[in-house]
């Protein structure tokens, strides 16, 4: 009853222009059904954002009852099942969403799901499709995802190109800056590596073990003993059991 009352409130603007002698079912018109569908989807997304995946399914199911081909409802259900670790159901709903409406947001989310499932070639293809939308406001994130996927596929040159493209779209991306710092360090391009790393540190708060190890290595290259020791201290204090700290200790011998 509360859900239906919330839906009716959302129809106020639509019903306000109607002249009738009595109450009218907002689902009786195409306009009303479309408003209901959109409201159910938004309610489902709200539950999903709160981590209530079971509750999210109820309004999303009702949205699909009104329109079985609704891309937003299928995309939201895909995220629900992805959260619940039901990959087959998530994949099914992602495909239904894209069949109804192929757009960059859904393609990027599907690519992220495929990456999570270690289906890197499939993920790369979806990210490429998402990147083709030049007006997508999160395009820099798509190129970040392309770079990360290229790394998993062993395509370092492609990864670098994608990361550079990402930074041209949005220069303030910590993960991309860290990856560029790591790639540059591995290629012994230490000056640009330090530049990327310093930009990363300026944006990032608490660092993880990987970035601290890279900081210690760069400090050592540039003969910054105090800096190297400081990074080592943070590794020992924050991540004493990590492989990165063990690697740091090995490199001090």
Per-residue pLDDT averaged across 68-91, rounded? 95
pLDDT at 165 over 70: yes
pLDDT band at residue 10 under the 50/70/90 scheme: very low
* Cα–Cα dist 144/168, whole Å: 11
Domain end position, chosen among 42, 67, 101: 101
182 within domain boundaries = yes
pLDDT at 231 over 90: yes
220 within domain boundaries = yes
87 within domain boundaries = yes
Rg of the chain over Cα atoms, rounded to whole angstroms, equals 24
* Cα–Cα dist 95/90, whole Å: 9
State how far Cα 216 lies from the chain centre. 29
The range of the structural domain enclosing residue 194 comes to 171-252
The answer to whether 235 and 212 have CB atoms below 8 angstroms apart is yes
224 within domain boundaries = yes
pLDDT, one tens digit per residue, over 182-229 is 999 999 999 999 999 999 999 987 899 999 999 999 999 999 999 999
HSE, side-chain direction, 13 A CA sphere, residue 50: 11
124 within domain boundaries = no
Here the tokens at position 177 are 């800056």
115 within domain boundaries = no
108 within domain boundaries = no
pLDDT, one tens digit per residue, over 92-113 is 999 999 999 999 999 999 999 9
State how far Cα 76 lies from the chain centre. 14
CATH number at residue 94: 1.25.40.10
pLDDT, one tens digit per residue, over 16-71 is 333 444 456 666 677 878 888 899 999 999 998 899 999 999 999 999 999 999 99
Domain end position, chosen among 66, 81, 101: 101
187 within domain boundaries = yes
Could you identify the residue written with the tokens 């409802």?
A: 73
Query: Model pTM?
Result: 0.85
How many domains is the chain built from?
Answer: 2
Domain end position, chosen among 86, 101, 116: 101
Dihedral of CA 113/115/121/125: which sign?
Answer: positive
């Amino acid at each position: 009853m509360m859900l239906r009352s919330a839906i009716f409130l959302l129809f106020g603007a639509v019903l306000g222009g109607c002249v009738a002698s009595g109450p009218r079912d907002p689902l009786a018109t195409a306009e009303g059904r479309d408003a209901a569908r959109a409201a159910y989807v938004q309610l489902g997304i709200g539950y999903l954002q709160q981590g209530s995946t079971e509750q999210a399914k109820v309004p999303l199911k009702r949205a699909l009852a009104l329109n079985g081909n609704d891309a937003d409802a299928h995309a939201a259900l895909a995220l629900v099942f992805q959260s619940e670790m039901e990959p087959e159901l998530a994949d099914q709903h992602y495909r239904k969403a894209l069949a109804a409406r192929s757009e960059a947001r859904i393609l990027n989310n599907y690519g992220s799901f495929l990456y999570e499932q270690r289906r890197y070639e499939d993920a790369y293809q979806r990210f490429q499709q998402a990147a083709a939308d030049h007006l997508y406001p999160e395009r820099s994130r798509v190129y970040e995802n392309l770079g990360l996927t290229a790394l998993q596929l062993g395509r370092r040159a492609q990864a670098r190109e994608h990361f550079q493209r990402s930074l041209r779209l949005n220069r303030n991306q910590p993960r991309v800056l860290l990856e560029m710092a790591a790639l540059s360090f591995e290629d012994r391009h230490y000056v640009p590596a330090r530049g990327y790393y310093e930009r990363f540190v300026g944006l990032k708060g608490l660092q993880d073990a990987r970035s601290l190890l890279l900081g210690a290595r760069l400090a050592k290259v540039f003969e910054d003993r105090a800096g190297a020791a400081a990074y080592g201290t943070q590794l020992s204090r924050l991540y004493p059991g990590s492989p990165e700290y063990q690697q740091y200790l090995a490199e001090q011998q």
